[in-house]
Amino acid sequence: MLWVAGLALGLQAVLAEIPVSFDHDGVILWTRVTPRTVNETAASYEVTWTVYSGDDLSTVVQTGVANTSAERDFTVKVDVSGLESGPQYAFRFQVAHIVSDVGTFRLPVPPGQRLERLKFFLYSCANWGFGYFNAYDVGSRYNLDFWVHLGDYFYEYGVDNYPSPSQAVRYEPAPLGLQPAHEILSLSDYRRRHALYRMDRGLQALSASAPLIALWDDHEFVNNVYTDGAENHDPEDGPFPQRKMNAAQAWHEWMPIRDTPSNFYAINRTLQFGDLATMFVLEDRVTARTNSGQNEPEGNPNDIPDVDSVVAGIVGSVPPSEWGQNVTDQLLELKNALDTRRTGANETMLGAAQEAVLARDTDAASRPGLNQTVWQQYLGGLVMLDRGSPDLEGAVAAVRRQGDSATADLWQEALDNLTTGTPGATYTSYSPTPYNLGNLTKSFPVSTSAQKTARANVALGRYKLQYYMDSWMGYIADRNRFLAAIANATNPVVYGGDTHNYWGGYIYSVDPQGYFGLNKTTPIDGPPAALEFDVGSVTSTGSEGSAVVPLEMINEAFKASSPGLLIADVRFKGGMYVELTQTNQHVEYIYVDTIATENYEAFCGMAYDAPARSDPSTELVIKPGSCGPVPEARPYQQALVLSEEARIVSGNGTNTPAPAAATAG
């Protein structure tokens, strides 16, 4: 079993990756050499690495020398074997007189051996400009076995796009402003963007504290990427295959994954942790994915209609109370076209070859033998459970059914104000994101455009119009193929990210012909096929970013539209803590109170438990659980935070010295 640990030079951050194979004595240690002055620049460097037992750096277990040069952007990966499973190790790097920060790791026990417990964090969607990565810092306090990044570790945009300059918390000047400032295209661009992100203090603390299991989503390449193109790749950006290769090369240089001849794009892998868990890392972006048609340039034959604006065109000037047969007919016609496309058998996310490997390894994990485990966990970038367009009217009805008529009346009034066109009506902004704090709970007169958007939203929810095709919602037949492949799993759990908000619930295998029909009275076919827990974003803005109804109403509206969705929370940024045992999966939704500064408070917002079942004949269940305390920052961990100058890197393969130290926080 292989792990990767990672630090930087001065030495930039340490990182370790985790088991990328079944030889359980291995770890990948990672760092990057970045000179701080012109005197330290060189064409290549000899880097000494040392692994210590325990964490006090007194007992050397192994040491060696690695070389690095411009060819690999001065990054270093060392594949260390011959270590024991279980005990704590520390490691660090040295170049000349410069010593890196200290990283720690422990190795999981091999397949077949009893493993009582695993503790890990999940993360997704960190955008530099939107704020500080405090969510990563929280994870560094937990003494984790590892952490998982489900993708969107960075974003490819230039400085003026997502976030816009007025939205940005970290904008200018260099070096803490976006680097490079333009949309990234070349190998050098992708390297520099990795280098910038690795400067974040919270990310460095987490990277040093425990190994990482990394996968990618779209933004490690470009928005809404699929096998041979992407929404945000225009002809003037150059040949797509070259950009895809640049992105993957930089990712392999900067991420602590063990590189093999075949995993340049196929980063899917199966990792086993004793007899407790099998982790399936999925590749659902660049090896088999077809074009969902989401936001394609107009005129592209694969394009699907821009659902939001088409619906706004149909209903935008008519209040919901006056929608007649004609409006209904047009909406149902659109719905039919969308559902036909997204249930098409030819739309693939994972592909047959990957599904065959998943079937084989899931089956082995679910039968007596060396590879049997209690938990089978599928790590993908995307939400897999059914998540429809939020049904705002359904939210009002739901709280009314629960007996809370005061809230129902208030939400109905908010909806009426937005949609009916009553003169003088107002709405309230609920966006809690840093750039919108000034607007939080501020009232505004309802504008024509707000009214149009709100009417479209009512229609999307009422007629179950799916607008988010760049997710499993656009690949329903492939989702069923995936569920068939893992049908023998004892305790299947899917983790997703991507949406920037928190979800959880049950995934159902569905009949694509019947499921989406408005006439269907029972929306669910059979018992749940798998459980799912989805982590919100580290910083990227989600459904909350432009909210004009209370955030609790948005949560209810998603639950009202989506039968398997038990958990919905669009209020916070953060990570997700998971503690697995032989009998239970305990999940905590860990939030931070701000991303606008590096001073933050963390808290557990919700907790759930899923008892392990002994065979697939019992139904899978998620129950409310209790939050544990969020640990205090550990003094040992604080010592891991790098000096300011060591955080600065350029990362574009030329290894110019780091710019003058910036002040942060």
Ligand X SMILES: *[C@@H]1O[C@H](CO)[C@@H](O)[C@H](O)[C@H]1NC(C)=O
Does position 211 interact with ligand X (CB under 6 A)? The reply is: no
586 within 8 A of 609, measured Cβ to Cβ? yes
Contacting residue, 54, 158, 165, 369, with ligand X by CB under 6 A: 369
Asked whether position 12 contacts ligand X by CB under 6 A, the answer is no
154 versus 280: smaller Cβ distance to ligand X: 280
Q: Cα–Cα distance between 218 and 286 in angstroms, integer?
A: 9
Residues 59 and 109 sit within 8 Å (Cβ to Cβ) = no
Judged by CB under 6 A, does residue 351 bind ligand X?
yes
509 binding ligand X? (CB under 6 A): no
By CB under 6 A, tell whether 656 contacts ligand X: yes
Determine, following the binding rule CB under 6 A, whether residue 449 of this chain makes contact with ligand X: no
Residues, the chain: 665
Can residue 330 be called a binding residue for ligand X (CB under 6 A)?
A: yes
Q: For ligand X, which residue of 124, 127, 354, 537 counts as binding (CB under 6 A)?
A: 354
**Rounded Cα distance, 92 and 208, in Å:** 10
Which of residues 305, 344, 421, 628 is near ligand X by CB under 6 A?
A: 344
Smallest distance, ligand X to C-beta of residue 659, A = 7
Half-sphere exposure of 633 (CA within 13 A, CB side): 18
Strands 27-32 and 4-7: parallel
CB of 518 to ligand X, least distance (A): 7
Hey, which residues between 264 and 323 contact ligand X (CB under 6 A)?
266, 268-270, 287-288, 290, 302
Count interface residues toward ligand X (CB under 6 A): 50
Identity of the residue, 410 or 524, whose beta carbon is nearer to ligand X in the bound complex: 410
User: Interface with ligand X by CB under 6 A: which range of 121-129, 217-225, 398-406, 483-491?
Assistant: 483-491
User: Of these, 34, 75, 371, 499, which contacts ligand X (CB under 6 A)?
Assistant: 371
Element spanning 370, H or E: none
- 178 or 208: CB nearest ligand X: 178
Among 44, 164, 643, 654, binds ligand X (CB under 6 A): 654
Rule CB under 6 A: is residue 414 a binding residue for ligand X?
yes
Choose which of 373, 377, 417, 509 interacts with ligand X (CB under 6 A).
417
* 164 near ligand X, judged by CB under 6 A: no
In this structure, what token pair is assigned to residue 82? Answer: 């011959």
424 makes contact with ligand X (CB under 6 A): yes
- Determine contact, residues 199/649, Cβ cutoff 8 Å: yes
Collapsing DSSP to helix, strand or coil, 483 comes out as helix
CB closer to ligand X, 202 vs 434:
434
Enumerate the H helices of 229-273 as residue ranges.
Answer: 240-254
Using alpha carbons only, what angle is made at residue 387 by residues 628 and 301, rounded to the nearest 5 degrees?
A: 140
If you compute the radius of gyration of the chain from its CA atoms, what whole number of angstroms results?
25
Single residue of 100, 134, 188, 209 touching ligand X by CB under 6 A: 188
Q: Which of 173, 235, 299, 438 binds ligand X (CB under 6 A)?
A: 438
Choose among 223, 143, 229, 239: nearest CA to 183: 223
Which contacts (CB < 8 Å, 24+ apart) does range 341-344 have?
A: 341/293, 341/304, 341/469, 341/474, 342/292, 342/466, 342/469, 342/473, 342/474, 342/475, 342/476, 343/476, 343/477, 343/512, 343/513, 343/516, 344/477
- Which residue ranges make up the site for ligand X (CB under 6 A)? 22, 188, 266, 268-270, 287-288, 290, 302, 326, 329-330, 344, 346-347, 351, 353-354, 357, 359, 363-364, 369-371, 410, 413-414, 417, 424-429, 435-436, 438-439, 444, 485, 487-488, 517, 519, 650, 652, 654, 656
